[in-house]
């Protein structure tokens, strides 16, 4: 079976912290050809399990602010005291090369990207319940209790905004099913066909 991609698209995948966005994105990249995950730039400290240039580009606040002033970011936001942003040049280059680009970003960033790329495919990952989300956030062990509570509170706002701005909602109750749903959405958008 030969795969044919008719067109490259920009895909925005958002969802609250702990919902499984990163896992879903990694699996989509593994399973689809010519799909590239954009690596965000951030000022937050690198955890022991993360790799610079693979998980994020970790930069100082000064470096990030220089990128803002140069207009080098497609979108950026300050979240819990740290900046996160998408390098515009890398996204534009990948799309020009015929690759579909996935941006794993928050709702605020997604809205900003939609202004630059109105045809972007907007996918929001939902938790099955608020209780599931709380368990996932607390189970990661990345934050203290105060930060975990902030993330949970922010999740409610993100979900409300997503219903207004995203045209694809995927519930991550069963991970494999959620991955398949995201892949199908991307295939439809790119016009992928099987012979």
Residue ranges and CATH numbers for the domains of the chain are 3-194 (3.40.50.300)
Q: Which residues in 10-81 belong to E strands, given as ranges?
A: 10-14, 35-37, 41-42, 57-58, 73-79
DSSP code for 143: S
Check whether 119 has a pLDDT greater than 80.
yes
The 10s digit of each residue's pLDDT in 62-91 is 999 999 999 999 999 888 899 999 999 889
Check whether 127 has a pLDDT greater than 60.
yes
pLDDT of residue 144: 65
Report for 31-40, 62-71, 151-160: range of highest mean pLDDT: 62-71
Residue found under tokens 């956030």: 137
Sign of CA pseudo-dihedral 168, 117, 73, 36: positive
Check whether 121 has a pLDDT greater than 70.
yes
Spatial distance between the Cα atoms of 192 and 184, rounded to a whole number of angstroms: 10
Check whether 1 has a pLDDT greater than 50.
no
Crossing angle, helix 145-165 and helix 107-116, to 10 degrees? 40
pLDDT of residue 140: 53
């Amino acid at each position: 079976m030969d795969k044919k991609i008719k067109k490259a698209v920009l895909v925005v995948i958002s969802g609250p912290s702990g919902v499984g966005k990163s896992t879903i994105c990694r699996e989509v990249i593994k399973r689809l050809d010519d799909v590239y995950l954009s690596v965000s730039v951030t000022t937050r400290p690198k955890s022991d399990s993360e790799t610079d240039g693979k998980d994020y580009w970790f930069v100082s606040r000064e470096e990030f602010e220089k990128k803002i002033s140069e207009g080098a970011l497609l979108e950026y936001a300050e979240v819990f005291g740290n900046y996160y942003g998408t390098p515009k040049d890398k996204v534009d280059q990948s799309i020009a090369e015929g690759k579909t680009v996935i941006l794993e970003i928050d709702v605020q960033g997604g809205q900003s990207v939609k202004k630059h790329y109105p045809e972007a495919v907007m996918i929001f990952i939902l938790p099955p319940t608020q209780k599931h989300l709380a368990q996932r956030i607390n189970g990661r062990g990345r934050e203290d209790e105060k930060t975990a509570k902030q993330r949970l509170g922010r999740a409610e706002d993100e979900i409300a905004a997503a219903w207004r701005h995203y045209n694809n909602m995927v519930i991550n109750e069963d991970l494999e099913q959620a991955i398949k749903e995201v892949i199908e959405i991307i295939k439809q958008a790119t016009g992928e066909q099987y012979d």
